Amino acid sequence: MANSRPMAVSRAAPRAQPARKEAAPAAESGPLQLGELSELLGYQFKRTQLRIFEDFIRCVASLQLTPAQFSVLVLLEKNPGRNQTEIASTLGILRPNFVSMLDGLESRKLCERIRSPHDRRSHQVMLTEKGHSILARAKRLVAAKHESRLNALLGDADRAALLRILDKLSAF
Amino acid sequence: MANSRPMAVSRAAPRAQPARKEAAPAAESGPLQLGELSELLGYQFKRTQLRIFEDFIRCVASLQLTPAQFSVLVLLEKNPGRNQTEIASTLGILRPNFVSMLDGLESRKLCERIRSPHDRRSHQVMLTEKGHSILARAKRLVAAKHESRLNALLGDADRAALLRILDKLSAF
DNA sequence: TATTGTTATACTCTATAACTATA
DNA sequence: TATAGTTATAGAGTATAACAATA
């Protein structure tokens, strides 16, 4: 999990040019220049997303839940009785890969599969009492440690702006 | 690469409650409710980032460059002669994993490793002429197809706001 | 002794094909 | 025949330990 903490993705100190020289020869030491990566949305998105997930994992470490597992539990809570195909596809998880994921959650008694009486091919998936309880605790940890830290850094205005922009990007 | 195109992460149509009933029983059909995932920055970040990378890959498909390979080429252009450890760590890539990545680029004659005369343990990595050329073409494709599509969707103001917020989040 | 590049390895994610049981 | 869940499998991506050459 602990990767080599990479540089600060800083936009600062653009290193003044030697005035006359063309094609700046690049520094021979010190931090590297990111060049156009600084303004490449995909690059910045990826790096930021990794940091956010790292923090999420750290914040709910006591409950041993990954971001993906958390997202499944949230979906089960809000949509009890839906089948595996529906849950998986909503989260962008391929059905074959969702099987072992559910196995993990079910073996921990956080959710259960129940053969649907209406269509015996499918499973109605739902949280157990323990699943509800763990999810509630996870939400509290996320709100108190993870989201609050993000909010403190961003401020209410930028957090709202970010969510609005992310929503806009859902059409991308 | 082509995953099951997941739902629209929409924030719309919150499904009016039946007025008196408590604990809304959740829809029995139709799209699932995302619940608190709608406002979970990490979740929205991840989904958006995947879409952005998919588009990037599609846009530079003719040059067969992944986002990671592109980022290496950009870094080599701006920082010629740096060693593998420096390049890799700047991009958050672990040194062992960077070896095969460089092998791939070098076998395509896009870059070359040169034993440093000052420290014969290390390699000075630099773009070849072909590497410069491919990178220039890649940048044009990214600007003309990828970034322009993002900009069209976001608008200048939101693009700038997003980059500013991402920069703020680099301290996270 | 410490560092650079490297190999080997393992674990997670993601992706596709194909099977079974139901419909 | 089509669909839900499943198995098997393959390929990325990511992580750690350890080795040879060099400092």
Q: What is the mean pLDDT of residues A44-67?
A: 98
- Of the candidates A49, A79, A158, the beta carbon closest to that of B49 is on A49
pLDDT at B28: 74
- Where b means 16+ CB within 10 Å and e means fewer, B66-95 reads ebbbbbbbbbbbbbeebebebbbbbbbbee
| Strand C footprint nucleotides (protein C-beta < 7 Å) | 3-9, 13-18, 21-23
**Is there a contact between B125 and B83 (Cβ–Cβ < 8 Å)?**
yes
**Amino acid A117 CA to nucleotide C2 C1' distance, rounded Å:** 66
Residue in the block written with tokens 């530079």: B60
pLDDT at A29: 80
- How is domain B53-169 classified at the CATH fold level? Arc Repressor Mutant, subunit A (1.10.10)
- Angle, alpha carbons B163-B52-A6 (nearest 5°): 60
Tokens of B161: 């706001």
Out of A7-11, A51-55, B48-52, B166-170, pick the least confident: A7-11
Tokens of B75: 């870094």
DSSP state letter for B33: P
**E-only strand ranges, B46-155:** 111-115, 123-127
Half-sphere exposure of A83 (CA within 13 A, CB side): 13
Residue in the block written with tokens 């030697």: A18
State what percent of residues in chain A have pLDDT above 90: 83
Residues A89-143 have pLDDT tens digits of: 999 999 999 999 999 999 999 999 999 999 999 999 999 999 999 999 999 999 9
Q: What is the helix (H) or strand (E) element at residue A125, kind and residue range?
A: strand A123-127
Contact B159 A41 (CB under 8 A): yes
Provide the total of helices (H) and of strands (E) in chain A, helices listed first: 6, 2
Q: Touching check for A29 and chain B: CB below 8 Å? A: no
CATH architecture of the domain with range A52-171: Orthogonal Bundle (1.10)
Ordered by start, the domain boundaries in chain A are 52-171
Residue in the block written with tokens 């997930």: A53
pLDDT at A127: 98
Contact A75 B37 (CB under 8 A): yes
Q: What is the mean pLDDT of chain A?
A: 88
Residues B126-145 have pLDDT tens digits of: 999 999 999 999 999 999 99
Tokens of A72: 């499944």
Residue A94 φ/ψ, nearest 5 degrees:
-75, 140
Contact B11 A167 (CB under 8 A): yes
A123-127/B111-115 β-pairing: unpaired
**C-alpha distance from residue A46 to each of A53, A71, B108 (Å):** 11, 19, 26
DSSP state letter for B124: E
Residues B57-84 have pLDDT tens digits of: 999 999 999 999 999 999 999 999 999 9
**Is there a contact between B91 and A7 (Cβ–Cβ < 8 Å)?**
no
User: Is residue B21's pLDDT more than 90?
Assistant: no
Q: What is the CA radius of gyration of chain B?
A: 22
